[in-house]
Structure 1
Amino acid sequence: MKKNKKTHSNKPVLIDLFAGAGGLSIGFEQAGFKLVAATDWDHWSCETLRANHRNVFVAEGDINEVDLNDFAGKLSADEVDLIVGGPPCQGFSALGKRLKSDPRNQLWQQYMRFVEYFNPKVFLMENVPELLKSEEYVQIKRAAEKLGYQVREKILFAPDYGVPQKRRRAIILGSRIGEPKFPKPTHLLPGQLTLDNYRCVPWKSVRDVIGDLPLEPDGNNWHVGRNPTEKSLKRYKSVPPGGNRFNLPQDLMPDCWKRKKTGSTDVFGRLEWDKPSLTIRTEFFKPEKGRYLHPEAHRPITIREAARLQTIPDSYVLKGSHLEVAKQIGNAVPCELARNIGEELLKLFSTDSDSIKEKRIYRSTGFERLLAYQQP
C-alpha cells in the first residue's frame, strides 16, 4: 500500500464491520479512536454512517464480495489498529431458535478475513450470548489464536455500564499487544452498592434518559410514534405501570391471548420509570412484541425514546423511513457500552512499547487459508 495517506497518529485507527447505524463506532470514537472505514449490506444504515462520518469510507453491499486490496486502497490511513464488528446474529439468537443451518452463522469467517488481512493490534467481536456456546465460537477462537491473538470472552450486562436497558451481549476480544481486559462496571443495582464498589453509581433508569421528553410526541428529532386505532388506545389505557397483556379486560384481549393463559409477561408490557428498560429490539414500536409501552403515556415508545435507551446521541443523524430507522436502532450496540469497552482497550495502546510498534503489513493471503483454520 502506498504510504502517502493522511495518518491519525494521535488516535488509534478503527474499522467497523457489519456496522449498522454505527453504535460501536459512536462509542469507540467517544473513547478516543478514529473511524476510517465501515461496512454494511443495508442501504439506509450506510446512509446513516455517511451522514455522520463525511470522511469515512463506507463499503455498502455483501461483505463476501469485498476486495480487500481495493478496500485498503480507499482508507484515509496507512494502518489499522482495531477492527470491531458484530456479524449478524439471528442464527445464534434464542429468539431465532438457534438455527444451525443459517448461513449468517458463517459470516464470522468474513470478519476474520479482514483481521487476517489488516493484522490489527486488537479486534472486538460482539454478538448474542448464545454464540459463546456454539461450535462457531470454537472455530473463531482457533482462527484468532493461529493469527497470534490472545483471546478473551465475556458476557457484559449493559446496565452495569450506564445503559438504561437490560441487554446482554457477548464480547470477544483479541489482542497481540498484551492481554485484553474488560471494563469494570461503572453502575450497579442500588442494593449491590457497598464500600467495595463505592465508585459505582446506581443503574440508569428509563426516567433518567427520556423523562425530559414531551409525553405527547412533538415530531421533533424523531420523537414520533404510531397513530393507534381506537381499540389499541383502549388496550394501552388498560395496562398499569409494570403491567402487561394479562391486565387487559376480556373484551379487549385478542382470541389467541385468551387461549394462551401463560407465556411471556413482557408482551404488551409497560415500562417502569425507575428501572432500566428491557432489550430494545427492531420492532419496539409494537407493544405486542414486548415491553414497549411508555411508562405513563398511553402509547408505545417513540423512535427518539428508543434511541436514548440505546444511548445514541440526539445529535446523531438517522436516515431512512420510520421502519428503517427503527431497525437501525434495535440492531445497534448501546453506545455507552461500546465507550466503556473502548476506554479499557485504549489502555492497551497507551502502554504499547516501541518493540511492539512494528511496521504493519497487510496480508494478501486468500480466504482458503482462513477456511483451513476450522480444522484442528
Structure 2
Amino acid sequence: MQFVDLFAGPGGLDLGAQLAGAPSVGIEYDANAVATRYAASLPTVHCDVLDFGPADFPDATGLAGGPPCQTFSGAGLGTGREQLDRIVAAVKQAGADGRVVLPVGLDERTALVLEPLRWLLEAERLDRPYEAVVLEQVEAVAPIWKAYAEVLEGRGYSTATGILWTEQYGLPQTRRRAVLLARHGAPVALPAPTHRPYRRGAPRADGDPALLPWVAMADVLPDRGPFTAISNYGTGGDPKARGRRDSSEPAFTVTGKISRLRLVDPDGRELPRLTAAEAGVLQGFPADYPWSGADISQQIGNACPPPLARALVAAVAGDLQPVTAAV
C-alpha cells in the first residue's frame, strides 16, 4: 500500500508509514518543512495541495493527512471551532451530491480541513477509490471526522473514529488527537494501545500488566539528568499557575512554542532549554533527525508523532508487532 500524505509537514506521518512498511509521498507547501523533508530524504512534492488531486498520484492506494490545525487548536484564535457546525454541514452536503462546496465566509486556512474529502470524492469519480484513509488532527476536529465517516460509510468504507492519547502508543508526551481511519471494502478498527495511560500521581507500574509502562522524558533524554519542565502556558495568565512535570513523567503536549518550555534542576536552578533535537525526540522523532530551514519549533509542534502514525497506518495497512518504545 502506498500513501499520498496531504499537508505532510516535516515528515512525521511519512516516517511512521515507513516504520509500518508503507511507502508514501508527501505534499507540503511550507518551504521550511520541505527543507527538513529533503534533508531526511523523504519523497516530497513542494506545492499547494489545492493544485493537485488523485489523478496526479495514480500509484497511491492510500490517503493520509493532517490539515493545518491553527484555527481549531486551543492555542489558536478558535475561528475554526466557531465554524464547526457549518463545516460538518458542508461535509454531509458533499456526501449527498459528491462535490465539496465551501461555506461562505470560511477562511482559507480553516477550509483546508475539507481538502481530504475533495481528494476522496475525486478518487471515487476516477473509479479508483482509496483503499485506506488515515486522518489526524487536534481534538476539536472530531465532529468533522465523524461527518467524514458518515460520508465514507455510504460509499463502501468501514470507518473508525475517536480521540487517542499518544502516550498509549509509546510517545513520551501526553497529547490528544482526533483520528479517522477507513478501509474500502474491509473492516477497520482503531489501533489497540500498547502502553498504559498516564495518570498524574499514579505509580508508573500501575495499570494493565499486559501493556507497557508509559514512556517518560528521562527515558528518551537520559543525558539531561533529573529536571522539572515548566509549561509555557499559564492558567488565567498567571505564570505561577503554570503546570510542572518531572522528567520521570511524560512531557506536556509539544506545541510550536516548545522553545519557551523552561527546565529547572532539582534545586530550582534554570537549565538550558530544549534543543531542536530534544524537542523532536519528545515528539517521537529520532535524535538525529535533520531539522532544517527556519521556524523549527513550529515544525516540530505541528508534526504528527511518528509512533502514533505508525500505529494508525499499521491499523489500516496490515498487522505489525506492537510498538515497544518511542521512535
TM-score by length of 1: 0.67
- Return the letter of the residue paired with 1:43: A
**1:148, CA displacement in angstroms?**
2.4
* Unaligned residue ranges in structure 1 (runs of 5+): 1-11, 73-77, 216-239, 247-256, 287-291, 350-376
The equivalent residue for 1:114 is 119
Q: Which string of whole-angstrom CA distances, capped at 9 and with x for unpartnered residues, describes residues 180-219 of structure 1?
A: 1112111114658678x3221211101001122589xxxx
Query: In structure 2, what is the Cα distance between the partners aligned to 1:311 and 1:200?
Result: 19
1:203 paired residue among 190, 214, 238:
214
Determine the structure 2 residue equivalent to 1:32: 21
Aligned mate of 1:17, from 2, 6, 30: 6
The match for 1:95 among 75, 80, 87 is 75
Contact kept in structure 2, 1:91 and 1:102, CA below 8 Å: no
> Equivalents in 2 of 1:242, 1:310: separation in Å?
15
Q: Does 1:45 align with 2:33?
A: yes
1:278 aligned counterpart, secondary structure = coil
Counterpart Cα distance in 2 of 1:193 and 1:201: 9
Out of 263, 288, 293, the position equivalent to 1:294 is 263
Q: Distance in 2 between matches of 1:105 and 1:149?
A: 26
Letter of the aligned partner of 2:68 in structure 1? Answer: P
Q: Larger deviation: 91-100 or 272-281?
A: 91-100
Instruction: Measure, in 1, the Cα distance between the counterparts of 2:40 and 2:230.
Output: 38
Q: Which of 237, 244, 259 does residue 285 from structure 1 map onto?
A: 259
In structure 2, how many angstroms separate the alpha carbons of the residues matched to 1:87 and 1:347? 24
Q: Distance in 2 between matches of 1:338 and 1:264?
A: 35
**Within 5 Å, which residues of 2 pair with 1:218-237?**
none
Q: 1:207 to 1:169 in 2, by over 3 A?
A: same
Deviation of the 1:276 alpha carbon: 0.4
Give 5+ residue unaligned stretches, structure 2: 84-105, 321-327
User: For residues 166-245 of structure 1, what are the structure 2 equivalents within 5 Å?
Assistant: 166-188=174-196, 189=198, 191=203, 197-212=208-223, 241=228
The equivalent position to 1:152 in structure 2, one of 151, 157, 160, is 160
21-30 or 293-302, which deviates more: 293-302
Let me know the Cα RMSD of the aligned residues: 3.0
Q: CA deviation at 1:175?
A: 1.2
Partner amino acid for 2:110?
Answer: N
Shift of 1:156: 0.5
Structure-2 residue corresponding to 1:308: 281
Query: Could you tell me whether the CA contact under 8 Å between 1:112 and 1:143 is conserved in 2?
Result: no
State the alpha-carbon separation in 2 of the partners of residues 49 and 159 from structure 1: 25
Question: What is the aligned-residue identity percentage?
Answer: 26
User: Which structure is larger by alpha-carbon Rg, 1 or 2?
Assistant: 1
In 2, distance between residues paired with 1:157 and 1:314?
22
SS in 2 for 1:202: coil
Residues 257 and 297 in structure 2, CA contact (< 8 A), matched pair in contact too: yes
Q: Is the 8 A contact 1:164 1:203 kept in 2?
A: yes
